[in-house]
Each structure stands twice: as C-alpha cells, then as structure tokens.
C-alpha cells in the first residue's frame, strides 16, 4: 500500500510540474509565433479579411514573425481564453477589457481602437415610442454586457435608474426568437440581431441607440502588455495590416466588402448598413486623434463606475478606482500602483508617420 | 496461488480506496492552483481555497446588495422548483403513455414509431419554436425539461411493460381480469419501481436541460448564475456551484434509490437473484 502511495505522489508532483510549465509559458519572452483570437462582428471582419488574403502574413514576414488569427465562436469564451493566457491578443470592447482581463489581473494594452458603436447597440420597445415608457417594464438583455451599460446610460438621460426597470438575462443568440414571444416588451441588444428584429417586426421601436452616447462602446485590439513589451514587432505588424485593409474599405473596395459580408453571414447591403452604424477610423490620423482625445479617459471613468456598481471589477475592489488605467500622454485613472489596462498610441502614431 | 482477481479489500481499505481519487483530484487542483497563482496572484482560472470561502460567504451567507436576498438560496430554490416540476410532469406523462404503448398492441402500432422518432428531436435545436409556443417564462424552462426527458422514460417504460411475462397476463385473464383491471392490478404495481429507476437514470439529462434553459433567459437559478459569472471567468463562484449541483444530483439519486427499496422491497430482492 505504501509503495502505491509513493508512486502516486511522484505522479502528482510530475503532473503539477507539467501544469507549472504550462502556466510559465504565460511569462513573457521573445518569441516569433503569435495567436490572436477574434469573433464575428462588423468592426472585426477586416481582421478576417487580412488573414484570409495574406495581408497579415505579409506584414508578419516583414517583421520576421508569424501571426495566426484564431476565430472563436463565443465572444466571451474568446476573452476568457485570452485572460487565461491561451492567446497573445484578442478583440474585445473597452468595457470587457476592463472587467475581464484587467479585473483578472492580466495587464493588457489596447493597441488599435478600430471603431466605436454609433448605433450598433440599441433599446427596443414593443408598441411604445418613447424611452420613458420603459418604466416598470422587464428588459431582455445580456446582463453585465455593453447592452446593460447602454441601458444604464439611457436611463440616466431621462432621469431614471436601473431600479425603474427589471432586467432579464437573455442569450444574444436567442434575441430574435425572444422578440416574437408575448412576454417580451423591451429589449437591449446589438447588431445584427438589432436590425434583424427591426426589419421583421412592425411593433419594434428603437427608442435609444449608441449614437446618442458616441465613442463609449469601443471595439479594440488588445495585446498582453508583457508580450507586447518584449515583442513590439507583433503590434507593428498588426497595425500595418489593419491600415492596409482600412485603406481598401475607405475606397469602398466592393470585393473586400463582399468578402467581409459573406464571412459574417450577411450580404453586401446588410454589411454596409451595419457599417453605417459603426464609426470606423479609416486613417491613422483619425484614429490617432480619437486615441489621444480627452474623451477616452472620461468614458473609461464612466465604464469603471458602472462596472464597480455591478460588482464586476473583481474581488476585493473597494471602489471604482481600484483598477488603474493609463492613457496616452502619461495620464492615468485610478490606482497608479495597479495599472492593468493601458491605452497606447505608439503604434498608431508610427502608422500616421509612415514608419511601419 | 493468490490471484489479483480474488483479493478482496477489507472494510478499512474499502473506505480508503473510495476516498483516494477525491483526495488525489483535490491535491492536483491545489498544486496547479498554487502554480498559477504564483505567476499571477489575481488569476481567476484556478482560485485558491480562500477565494472559494469568500465566494461562498458572498453568495450564500451575505444578503445581496441589490435585492436583500441570499442569492445562493434563491438560485437553489428556483432551480429545484423547475427541475422538480419538470421531472414530475415527465414521470406522470410517461406513465400515462408508457403503459398503453407497452400493453395495448393497437396503441403501440399507432404511436410507437412516432414516439421513437420524436425522442430523437434535439430540443435545443428547436428552442426558438418552444419560445414562441411557451413564452420566455417559467413555462418554457419546465417545458424544455419535459420535452427532453419524457420520451426517454416513455420508451423505457414501454419496454418494461412488454417484458412482463406473458404467463402472468394469461393467468390474470383466466381469473376474469379485464384489460383495465389487469393494468391496475398486474402492470402498474410492477411498473412503478421501474418508473422510479427510469427517473433516476434520466436525472442527469434533466439537469442538463435545466441548466441550458436557465442559460438562455432567467433572472435566478443555479444555471443562470453560472452562465452569468462565466462572462467574468469567476471560477471561485462557478466551482462551488458545480460541486453543489453534483451533490444535489447525487442526493436525489440516493433518495430515490432508498425510496424504491423501502416501498418495493421485492424489486431489489428480485434483481439480486437474477
């Protein structure tokens, strides 16, 4: 019996060591192969196009590295995998970057803020035309997501708060079916579900959308800060590839847009209408202006306060300033000793100056 | 020569051997968690025991800031209501359908292929239709469990009814039994413990449907909570919830087994002989 004990304990030590090596690969080091995870969304389809058409490969080769864009079907799963150390970079919104990797202690840097939602997220009411009619209703939404944040901001604009409504967590995949049921009278969701519901239901009225809170729901490329520090080539290659695709989109390249439309499961017209409610930054100089604007710290302060009030800033967060954030120009928000989310203009600036 | 196959563990080692895998998994977890936390103290994937304690304290022992209720209790109660109702309805439906299907050839001829085909429909795939029919409320969640579980029990019961020795049925007829009285006096008493057995076996499936239903649309429930905090990788909440669900499932299984044994002692005895 004793010998069985000994050998199992040896096995245990060995297995723990293996796990240890797995975890230590989280530690940054100079490497030449990188993986970035992405999910289907109007503002992220250019990444898929860049990958499929060899634009990423071209830029990666220029810097002597390899980059693989990995498509993950579930958006949250993609961020969770990044947070757990499986990916070097990931595409996510500003709010999720704060509440998932940053709250999970993973120091992340937003390298490219590709676009912001300018009507892509909205609040729908059945047979009612005014936002104030939402009082007392049950609102179907993906709880603790940007939809939840948008609802809170919308209620603020009409002097109400979340106490005036009831929130019902509903999966984003089931929103369209949910709208057809009798009990659903109010909903906050995003595209393509949002436009799908409005196109198919005469009783759906859009009473508020993200164009009324511009620049607050930002879609960005996030890279692990340690990895970035040791491998700035990764950010340089990705930024170069991104603006090459942006130039095509700015020209209105039909072939490229059709490719993105089909990859996201819609057609050219559908994709263009989604782009209409998305504020894309097509040129490095436009994006640089947005990245260095005073709006970003102000927005992140609001997002941080919302996240704290809903208990998603992580355990032991005593206030909304628990997680520190750094912005271009040396500005910070929150605890400067616990900076876990950084907004970086280095690479966009290089793109603007043509130095990539 | 003593062969390995003939060595029997003593009572003491029986207990020890049964415990061993649990201890090994726990030790393995602690080791892996330590390594990850050493690399990043805020890592959420494999939390330490103290974060579990904090999460349990927050969920189960501290009233929620927003509603003043104990979230853990609230989640457990609403999930058990849904599960209990779903399984009860399934069991009753299965009894009402399984006996005629197994007992009356004409009913079997008419319905058996349909039930067999219906049991193959994956309920998750037709979920949008279920929403439209049953709405998004409690009814849809219970309906998902019923639709997922009933066909399994019906088919099992049909088989069990058909396995009743034909001699018994002939004997009952020679004693003047009508179809109806034979159902009541011969079939039902023999089928009842088998129904409980079938319910035990489908309990796992029922939990799956419950948690899927709660993931889709809910304001409370064990599955709802897991899917909500999964967005934030809060394994400190998820793992205790999973352990609790496992324990509840284990407890039901045990209680149903004990109940069957108490009420139908002949059933277990019969099994041992065969």
ipTM of the complex model: 0.70
Note the pTM of the prediction, 2 decimals.
0.80
Residue ranges in A125-263 assigned as alpha helix (H): 146-157, 175-179, 193-200, 225-230, 232-251, 254-263
* Percent of chain A at pLDDT exceeding 70: 92
Inter-chain touch B218–A27, beta carbons under 8 Å: no
| pLDDT number for residue B142 | 93
**Is pLDDT of B149 > 50?**
yes
Best mutation target among B38, B42, B223 (most A Cβ atoms within 10 Å) is B42
* Of residues A38, A303, A277, A298, the one with CA closest to residue A144: A303
pLDDT at residue number B59:
87
- Say whether pLDDT at A14 is over 90: no
Q: Which residue of B has its CA nearest to A97?
A: B232
* 8 A C-beta contact, residue A98 and residue A307: yes
Whether the CB-CB separation of A214 and A116 falls below 8 Å is answered with yes
Contacts of A15 in chain B (CB under 8 A): 28, 31
Question: Which SS3 state, helix, strand or coil, does residue A315 take?
Answer: coil
Q: Which of A179, A195, A161, A213 is nearest to A276 (CA)?
A: A195
What pLDDT does B65 receive?
Answer: 65
Confirm or reject contact between B103 and chain A (CB < 8 A): no
Indicate the pLDDT class of residue A140, thresholds 50, 70 and 90: very high
Question: Which SS3 state, helix, strand or coil, does residue A153 take?
Answer: helix
Could you say which of B43, B127, B233 has the minimum Cβ distance to residue A100?
Answer: B233
Handedness of CA B212, B216, B222, B228 (dihedral sign): positive
**Confidence (pLDDT) at A29:** 73
Q: What is the mean pLDDT of residues A34-40?
A: 93
Q: In chain B, which residue's Cα lies nearest the Cα of A140?
A: B217
SS3 A66: strand
Q: What is the pLDDT of residue A25?
A: 46
d(CA B8, CA B14) in angstroms, rounded, equals 9
- Contacts A8 to B, Cβ<8 Å: 24
The beta-carbon neighbor of A181 closest among B13, B28, B132 is B132
Dist. CA B169–CA B189, nearest whole Å: 13
H/E element, A38: strand A33-38
Instruction: Tell me if chain A has a CB within 8 Å of the CB of B213.
Output: no
Which pLDDT belongs to residue A27?
53
Q: In angstroms, rounded to a whole number, what is the distance separating the alpha carbons of residues B22 and B133?
A: 44
Distances (CA, A) of A151 to A135, A137, A166, A306, A315: 12, 13, 11, 11, 24
Q: Give the pLDDT score at B272.
A: 54
**What's the average model confidence in pLDDT over A24-32?**
65
Burial A25-34 (b: 16+ CB within 10 A, else e): ebeeeeeeeb
């Amino acid at each position: 019996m004793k010998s069985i004990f000994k050998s199992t304990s040896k096995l245990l030590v060995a297995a723990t060591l293996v796990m240890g090596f797995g975890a230590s690969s989280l530690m940054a080091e100079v490497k030449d192969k990188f993986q970035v995870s992405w999910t289907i969304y109007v503002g992220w389809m250019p990444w898929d196009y860049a990958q499929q058409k060899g634009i990423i490969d071209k830029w990666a080769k220029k810097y002597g590295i390899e980059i693989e864009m990995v498509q993950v079907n579930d958006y949250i799963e993609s961020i969770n995998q990044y947070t757990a150390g499986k990916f070097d970079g990931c595409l996510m919104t500003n709010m999720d970057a704060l509440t998932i990797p940053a709250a999970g202690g993973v120091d992340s840097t937003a390298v490219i803020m590709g676009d912001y939602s300018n009507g892509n997220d909205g609040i729908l009411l059945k047979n009612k035309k005014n936002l104030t009619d939402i009082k007392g209703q049950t609102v179907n939404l993906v709880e603790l997501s940007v939809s939840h944040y948008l609802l809170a901001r919308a209620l603020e604009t009409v002097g109400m708060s979340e106490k005036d409504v009831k929130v019902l967590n509903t999966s984003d995949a089931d929103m369209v079916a949910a709208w057809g049921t009798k009990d659903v009278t109010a909903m906050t969701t995003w595209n393509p579900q949002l436009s799908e519901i409005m196109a198919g239901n005469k009783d759906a009225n859009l009473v508020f959308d993200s164009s009324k809170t511009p620049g607050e729901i930002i879609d960005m490329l996030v890279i692990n800060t340690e990895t970035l520090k040791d491998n700035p080539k990764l950010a340089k290659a990705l930024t170069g590839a991104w603006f090459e695709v942006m130039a095509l989109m700015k020209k209105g390249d039909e072939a490229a847009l059709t490719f993105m439309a089909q990859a996201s499961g819609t057609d050219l017209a559908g994709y263009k209408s989604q782009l209409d409610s998305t504020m894309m930054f097509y040129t490095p100089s436009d994006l640089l202006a947005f990245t260095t604007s005073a709006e970003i710290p102000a927005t992140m302060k609001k997002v941080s306060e919302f996240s704290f009030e809903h208990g998603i800033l992580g355990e032991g967060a005593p206030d909304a300033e628990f997680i520190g954030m750094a912005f271009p120009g040396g500005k910070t928000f929150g605890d400067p000793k616990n900076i876990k989310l950084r907004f970086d203009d280095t690479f966009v600036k290089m793109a603007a100056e043509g130095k990539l | 020569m003593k062969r390995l196959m003939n060595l029997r563990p003593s009572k003491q080692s029986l207990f020890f051997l049964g415990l061993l895998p649990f201890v090994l998994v726990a030790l393995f977890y602690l080791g892996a968690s330590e390594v990850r936390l050493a690399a990043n103290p805020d890592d959420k994937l494999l939390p330490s025991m103290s974060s579990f304690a904090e999460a349990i304290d927050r969920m189960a022992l501290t009233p929620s800031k927003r509603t003043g209720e104990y979230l853990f209790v609230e989640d457990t109660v609403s999930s058990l209501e849904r599960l209990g109702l779903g399984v009860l309805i399934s069991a009753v439906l299965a009894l009402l359908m399984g006996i005629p299907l197994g007992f009356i050839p004409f009913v079997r001829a008419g319905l058996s292929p349909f039930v067999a085909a219906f049991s193959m429909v994956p309920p998750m795939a037709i979920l949008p239709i279920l929403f439209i029919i049953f709405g998004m409320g409690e009814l849809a969640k219970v309906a998902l469990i019923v639709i997922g579980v009933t066909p399994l029990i019906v088919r099992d019961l049909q088989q069990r009814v058909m396995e009743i020795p034909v001699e018994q049925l002939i004997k009952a007829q020679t004693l003047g039994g009508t179809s109806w009285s034979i159902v009541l006096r011969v079939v039902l008493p023999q089928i009842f413990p088998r129904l409980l057995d079938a319910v035990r076996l489908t309990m796992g499936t029922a939990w799956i449907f419950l948690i899927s239903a709660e993931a889709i649309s809910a304001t409370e429930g064990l599955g709802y909570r897991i899917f909500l905090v999964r967005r934030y990788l809060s394994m400190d909440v998820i793992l205790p919830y999973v352990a609790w669900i496992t324990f509840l499932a284990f407890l039901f299984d045990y209680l149903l087994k004990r109940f069957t044994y108490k009420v139908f002692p002949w059933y277990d005895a019969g099994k041992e002989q065969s």
